[in-house]
Structure 1
Amino acid sequence: MYSAKTHNPALAAALIAVACAFIAATTLIAKTLATPQFGAPMHPFQIVFGRFLFAFLTFAIATAILRPGLQRPHLPLHVLRTLGGWAGLTLMFASVAHIPLADATAISFLNPVFGMIFAIPLLGEKVGKWRWSAAGIALVGALILLRPTPDSFQPAALLALGAAVILGFELTIIKQLTRRENPFSILLVNNAIGVGIASVAVMWVWIWPTPAQWALMATLGCAMAVAQTCFVNAMARADASFVAPFTYGTLIFAALYDVLFYSVVPDSVTILGASIIIAGALLLAWREGRRVHPKPDHAPL
């Protein structure tokens, strides 16, 4: 039986900060693998394959060492959730190959908004004026980041927008899974199924990686495993409304990595669009924090 963690907001904030750093690092590694820096540029399918393979190996090793109590998984939900995660990551990694990390990351922050929209028909949730207002503000920020003028429009930004839509759908499935299973079981099964899906997709685009590319894919998978673990443990130690604002630290790390590794400095459009998206998301988090929620049986994922 899964037992709840002790409430510790300070530790939760620290864990989320670590998760943000590793999540931004995964997009940086994906961007690097899509360039000819260490070998032939990799297709997003192959990058996502590396992410799932090495994340699964990390969790499998942890399972062998820690021997946590595992539950019988709800396979249809897991497959649906993993298909969404695979598709969303593929689009996200494809987008960062062509646009700055900060832009792609900011647009990806729309996934809670789309998650809210999908929760209406799928979970039967009611959405009031505050939630719709927050969603509208965030979408305005995304429109700015898309730069919808003939001279500045970034088609690759639509890939990041597509990723946000799909990952928003995935959030609704995760919410259903956390009512049934403990977080470690969800992560292990998710990555196991992800390896299977990614293995089929990668057959059509496979190129043999160089030793450096193998090392980067391994680092990508391990970084994602660390990020997921930190995120799950943070959510287990504090309310979601407290944790949510800290997740926007990912944008800071993404912008920092862009400057350090690609000498890309965020321009005024990026700063404005990202600020508006974050403002909408923070409004949503603040409103959620004022609502009374029943205590969940399991920690959110």
Structure 2
Amino acid sequence: MPVRPVPSAPVDPGRALIVGGLWMTAACGMLALLAAEIRMAAQHVHPLEVVFFRNLFGVVLMVPMLRRLPLPYDFRRRWTLFGLRGLTSFLAMSTWFFAVATIPLADAVALNFTLPLFATLLAVITLGETVRARRWTALAVGFAGTLVVLRPGFTEVSAGTIAALASALFMASSAISIRRMAAHDGPAVITFWSNIVMTPISLIPAAFVWTWPGWEGWAWLLLVGATAIIAQIFLSRAYAAAPTSAVMPFDFTRLPFAVLIGLAFFDEVPDPWTLVGATVIIGS
């Protein structure tokens, strides 16, 4: 008689949500810590160098995963998408690293919450997605919250705040390109080859501001690379444990983590308007 496979135990949705939420919260804590490490590394070398080493260490740390990737890989099939994703990711990373190095962490994270707003607009423009009136209203509310954080005319809009907004726009562009690539390749392939593309791209501008770090600088750069990988692992576990729509609300825990880390390590007291604006953006 053929042996019937033993059916797997049904997954408890409640438990899956708890597990996914915990992994997502842990990932957000690591991302907030990563922002602080980027700021410390940027005190030793230019932020563009930090971007380069982040990408380089990302490639090195992913080498053990090569055996899981389809090799040889015909990179020529989608070199345009990989190039676009590499360029937008480099721009997103560069502007984000500059932002967290120059403005309060809470401000940078609050402005980064505009990413879904930019992603929606880009999806309409580039993918032809249909957005209903309710979503357009939410977009308007979200951008109003952005103005509350920026308060143009009442406070100086610094290069760091502009960089934080630009990083959200470029992150949204990168997300759109990933969405196209995901139809053909898995996450490991996209991540590995995107890092391969971003490493030489980020080396070019870094070469113009290059200074060799000291021992302390190397330590911070290694921490940046390691923390980024750990955050990615936590994110992957969160998305594997529960549906994306269920774990994404936990992404907003990045703000309290950023507030706590900014206060503990940099004596940054968050501006009340930043918290109000962030609440409006999140609520949209």
Q: Is the 8 A contact 1:86 1:198 kept in 2?
A: yes
2:259 corresponds to which residue? 255
1:178 corresponds to which residue? 182
Greater Rg over alpha carbons, structure: 2
Q: Distance in 1 between matches of 2:182 and 2:252?
A: 23
Letter in 1 for 2:17: P
Q: Secondary structure at the match of 1:193?
A: helix
1:152 Cα deviation after fit: 4.3
Letter in 1 for 2:58: A
Q: Secondary structure at the match of 2:102?
A: coil
TM-score, scaled to structure 2? 0.88
Letter in 1 for 2:48: F
Of 83, 87, 99, which aligns to 2:87?
Answer: 83
2:227 corresponds to which residue? 223
Q: How does 1:23-172 map to 2 (within 5 A)?
A: 23-35=31-43, 39=44, 42-60=45-63, 62-63=64-65, 67-70=67-70, 72=73, 74-172=78-176
Of 192, 204, 210, which aligns to 2:196?
Answer: 192
Q: Secondary structure at the match of 2:183?
A: coil
Q: Is the 8 A contact 1:115 1:170 kept in 2?
A: no
Q: Could you list the runs of 5+ residues in structure 1 that have no partner in the other structure?
A: 1-5, 281-301
Letter in 1 for 2:196: A
Letter in 2 for 1:238: A
Q: Let me know the Cα RMSD of the aligned residues.
A: 1.8
More helix by percentage: 2
Q: Distance in 2 between matches of 1:170 and 1:204?
A: 25
2:22 corresponds to which residue? 14
2:3 corresponds to which residue? none
Q: Could you list the runs of 5+ residues in structure 2 that have no partner in the other structure?
A: 1-10
Q: Distance in 1 between matches of 2:233 and 2:194?
A: 13
Letter in 1 for 2:269: V
Q: Secondary structure at the match of 1:246?
A: helix
| Percent identity (aligned) | 30
Letter in 1 for 2:29: A
Letter in 2 for 1:76: T
Letter in 2 for 1:141: G
Q: Is the 8 A contact 1:17 1:247 kept in 2?
A: yes
1:135 Cα deviation after fit: 1.4
Q: Distance in 1 between matches of 2:59 and 2:35?
A: 18
2:6 corresponds to which residue? none
Q: Is the 8 A contact 1:112 1:171 kept in 2?
A: no
Of 250, 255, 264, which aligns to 1:246?
Answer: 250
TM-score, scaled to structure 1? 0.83
